[in-house]
Amino acid sequence: MQSPIMLNMVENLGATPVAITFNEMYTAIQTNVIQGQENPPSVVRAFNLDEIQPYYTLDRHTYSISFFVINNGWFEALPSDLQQVVLDASASTQKTHRETSAKWEGEAVNDLKERGMKVYEPTPEEIELFREATQQPAINYLKENVGEEWVNKIINAVDSARTELGLK
């Protein structure tokens, strides 16, 4: 992707990133201009990238999220019972989105395997090595380009959520 933080991640893994637009990617892989690409299994399946890319690694290096955005003034003007309805609907939507995404990605992985793609799932130890090579450089990049205050708020929120969910 043409994203500085994604390019930074690839560099920290010891590779040379090449940003290519999506519409040029298939041909670039086919002609060995690039040797790989980064997309979720559903995209690999939808665009038949398994025809030119025999391997796929499920390294879980990104997680796509959906935002629930609402005008705060409008929300605060609602009676408290309706505010709760909005919050409940948001939580329900979030749960449904996560379940649906997981189902679609699982189906895509199974289809890719059936079509002959070799799919590799790194061990927890390999995931930790990946994290060690990429996480702190990404955090440093974000602190320099977004601001330390915002990055620290996000890290604290993630840590808090992990603790609340018993994941830490």
Phi then psi for residue 29, to 5 deg, are -70, -45
Over range 16-21, report the average pLDDT: 90
Higher-confidence residue of 56 and 60: namely: 56
Quote the CA–CA distance of 106 and 55 in Å, as a whole number.
16
| Position 114, amino acid | E
The DSSP result for 139-158, as a single string, is HHHHHHHT-HHHHHHHHHHH
Listed in sequence order, the residues at least 6 apart from 12 whose beta carbon sits closer than 8 Å to its beta carbon are 133, 134, 137, 138
| Position 83, amino acid | Q
Looking at the predicted structure, is the pLDDT value of residue 136 above 90?
yes
Task: Give Cα 100 to chain centroid, integer Å.
Answer: 15
Among residues of the chain, what percentage have pLDDT more than 90?
Answer: 75
- The confidence band for 61, taking pLDDT boundaries of 50, 70 and 90, is confident
Q: pLDDT tens digits for 79-125?
A: 999 999 999 999 999 899 889 989 999 999 999 999 999 999 999 99
User: Domains in the chain and their CATH numbers?
Assistant: 4-122 (3.40.190.170), 123-168 (no CATH)
Listed in sequence order, the residues at least 6 apart from 19 whose beta carbon sits closer than 8 Å to its beta carbon are 1, 2, 3, 7
- The confidence band for 60, taking pLDDT boundaries of 50, 70 and 90, is confident
Q: Looking at the chain, how many residues does it have?
A: 168
- The confidence band for 27, taking pLDDT boundaries of 50, 70 and 90, is very high
